[in-house]
Amino acid sequence: MLCTSISGQSIDDLSSGAGEALSIGSDLVEFRLDTLRDPRPGSLGQLATFLDRAVLTVRRPGEGGRFPGTESERLTLIRAAIDQKPAYLDIELETLESYPDLLSSLSSTRLIASWHDLGRTPPAGDLTRVLQRARNYRGVPKIVTTATSPADNLSVLSLYKGSGEPPAAFCMGELGIFSRVMAMKYGSPISYVSLPGRSVAPGQLDLKTALELRRRLSNA
């Protein structure tokens, strides 16, 4: 599935971006709640129209997030996001391991257990161990690194060779675009894209390009 990442300073910004993405043909939208200027838990109900096709994310600063408050406030917003019962909820692996009680009320929401390295791509063996940790949680393992050389793409793509459901694994950065394309070919359950000219992460394909790429891959 193609998931368009949406950032914005207000709920109206998120809603507008989601409407545009879904009208173009995105399967899902990711609401980056950590980008809100005033991330109040009570405001999340305004996204109700989109929740059956939404990923809610409150990314922690250490993994690329922009949440302006304390960790306690971030956890409060995560719990409010859980209460909204979206289709998916993205929670960092480190957060899940530190606060296992978050899982007790997930209900019908599918978990994305994510892990990000913003500076490099670790060796394939290290990535495999991270993937094994993420698989301890039922849901979609998401492994994201930063490509500093073309070879880094191969390290991340090696995660698709193992048994079990494929992860969502790719490299960020211009050097990592190859991994994003090949992840679609190798069966990544979710491919993250952006609205044209509004990239949320380095190296993201825009939605229209990704739709055309998916069409070509399906006909190959």
- Per the structure, the complete domain to which residue 192 belongs is given by 2-219
Burial of 41 (0-12, 13-18, 19+ CB in 10 A): middle
Residue 144: beta bridge partners?
116, 170
pLDDT at residue number 30: 98
- pTM of the full predicted structure? 0.93
Each residue's pLDDT tens digit, 64-103 = 899 999 999 999 999 999 999 999 999 999 999 999 999 8
Confidence of residue 220 (pLDDT cuts 50, 70, 90): low
47-56, 124-133, 162-171, 185-194: range with lowest mean pLDDT: 162-171
Which of 135, 59, 133 minimizes the C-alpha distance to 91? 59
Burial of 87 (0-12, 13-18, 19+ CB in 10 A): middle
CA separation for the pair 203, 129 (Å, rounded): 25
Residues marked active site are found at 116, 142
* CATH number for the domain harbouring residue 73: 3.20.20.70
Token pair listed for 4: 């368009």
Q: How many folded domains does the chain comprise? A: 1
